[in-house]
Amino acid sequence: MKKILNTLMITISIVLSCTKAYSFSDKDEQMLRKMGIKGAQILLHNDKWQIKPSKMDIDGLVYKGQTKSLIDWEGMDHTKWLDFNHWKDQREQRDKFPSWKIKFRETQHTELVGRVLKCVGKCKIYRGENSVNSQYQSRIMEGDELITQEHSYAWLILADGSIARISPKTSMTFNEFNISNKQAFYFIRLNHGHIHWQVRKTGEFEKKNLAETDLLFHPLMERAANREHHSRIEYQSMNENEKLVYLTRNNYGFNNQYETLNSTLKKNDDYLSSVNTKVFMVTPNATYFAQNSHFDLYYSINSISAFRYKTELAGFEIKDNREVEVLAFLRGYNNKSEEVLTKGQWYSVNKDGSSISESELGKNFKSIKLFTKRIPTIHLAREIILKKSFPYLYEKKFTSKNLIQDYGYRLWDDNSTEDVKATETKRRLAFLKEYTRRVETTNLFSIKKVLRSKNIDTFNAEYYSLALNEQLKKLKNQYSSKRMIIPELREIEYYIWTLKYAENKK
């Protein structure tokens, strides 16, 4: 009997030694020893493991949204993964780089670049082999491609506070977003089409009792941004006589909307007013680098690209002292020249990417200037979404640890040393200049061969006809009986109204 009992106790010891540490405590260990199990080593997760730190792979912090395990269980090749020789070769390579886990964790993690504010029509987001139709608050991650189809438009909110209006028949790839305490850096490729980019500036909007100019997107699902929301606030704070007069006015809600927008801009300025926004925008025939500036960029496959930048917005008093720099880089394996561009001037680069010149193409893009002239609802929605989706922007000074763990971003180093003369971001920019010039020069040769008979697109009415028609229609119906009743709606009624009219239009 005693022999059987000892065998049972030894079995219990072996089982417990193979069990995870959280399944028993030190008290359990003491109890087992009292029961006569002496000399049995209970393997807790402490020094009893006796594994030297030097023999372990160094791992770093886990990014928010990233699992601790680095194994791609879904995408692995099981035969290869179970092959001993493959494991041996892999192990030898890893032993040469003790910090391989940290590097691998960083390269496997993709960061949030922005969110879709609204899509009108069909806007697809491609992530690897999968694609989804974008909608309000759809995420855009590093590596994603956004495609708008014919008569389809989108407004995007980017991770540093910039906003972008994407025209129809446009494809763009968001390759990279890097953040540091001093700057936000984007690496984006415009495959074809048109993008209007507005960087977030410090300043104040002039209150204008005028209709907005991009009504195609109205109303938004972000209810607190809509002018209708602010008309309800104004209306419901009045007495009966004031309400009667109020409904005879034009553009009601504009006053409260602009006041809210300006106060929110001022409140959110702590970090956003100091960070430098740098956009490295690539097309097959040219690359444009824009720092702290708004710009328009158009590219047609196997044809020219057109570019213009500016620093001011209509009706906006700028209080921003950040340095503006805009450069263009052309194609050619040995062409390292940089062209400094002039504010407000339209430029075009020929389809070979060999020359840049001032252009009269600006007349073709006057419609875009009209649509982006007065958009307080878009700007206010930007401030609201930044607070919800990119809260790290409101940290007075974020650290590498909390940026990784709490927000899922890697903090880039802005400091140079004696050993390394340039910062991480400067070294990255220098690499991308060389890399994209060579790769895109090769791409141009391929485009010529494959698409030599393709009809060349030009920026024409197809890019803005739907938006213009919708703008005129909504201006005409601005004071219809159905809209006149909005200020009187209760909160739940306004919520239902938003769900009904703010959904994506196919």
Closest C-alpha to 311, from 356, 358, 277: 277
What pLDDT, in 10s, does the model give residues 63-72?
888 888 888 8
Q: What is the structure's pLDDT at 13?
A: 53
Model confidence at 187, pLDDT cuts 50, 70, 90, reads very high
What pLDDT, in 10s, does the model give residues 98-128?
888 888 888 888 999 999 999 999 999 999 8
Whether the predicted pLDDT of 390 surpasses 80 = yes
Segment 463-486 shows an average pLDDT of: 86
Q: What is the structure's pLDDT at 191?
A: 96
What pLDDT, in 10s, does the model give residues 293-329?
999 999 999 899 999 999 999 999 998 889 999 999 9
Rounded to 5°, angle at Cα 134 from 310 and 190: 40
Q: What is the structure's pLDDT at 46?
A: 52
Q: What is the structure's pLDDT at 21?
A: 44
What pLDDT, in 10s, does the model give residues 200-242?
999 999 999 999 999 999 999 999 999 999 999 999 999 999 8
Whether the predicted pLDDT of 30 surpasses 90 = no
Q: What CATH class has 110-204+269-463?
A: mainly beta
Whether the predicted pLDDT of 506 surpasses 60 = no
pLDDT top residue among 7 and 409 = 409
Whether the predicted pLDDT of 57 surpasses 60 = yes
Segment 384-400 shows an average pLDDT of: 86
Segment 487-493 shows an average pLDDT of: 92
In sequence order, what are the beta bridge partners of 306?
A: 298, 348
Segment 148-153 shows an average pLDDT of: 94
Q: What is the pTM of this model?
A: 0.85
pLDDT top residue among 72 and 141 = 141
Whether the predicted pLDDT of 267 surpasses 90 = no
Q: What is the structure's pLDDT at 22?
A: 46
Pairing state of beta strands 286-291 and 276-283? Answer: antiparallel
Q: What is the structure's pLDDT at 177?
A: 96
Compute the distance between CA of residue 416 and CA of residue 419 in angstroms, rounded to an integer. 8
CB-count exposure of residue 449 (10 Å: 0-12, 13-18, 19+): exposed
Q: Where are the domains of the chain?
A: 110-204+269-463
Which of these ranges, 257-271, 345-359, 423-437, has the smallest mean pLDDT? Answer: 257-271
Whether the predicted pLDDT of 27 surpasses 80 = no
CB 278 within 8 A of CB 166: no
Tell me 372's DSSP state: T
Q: What is the structure's pLDDT at 129?
A: 83
Segment 393-406 shows an average pLDDT of: 85
| Residue 113 region by backbone torsions, left for phi larger than 0, else alpha for psi between -120 and 50, else beta | alpha
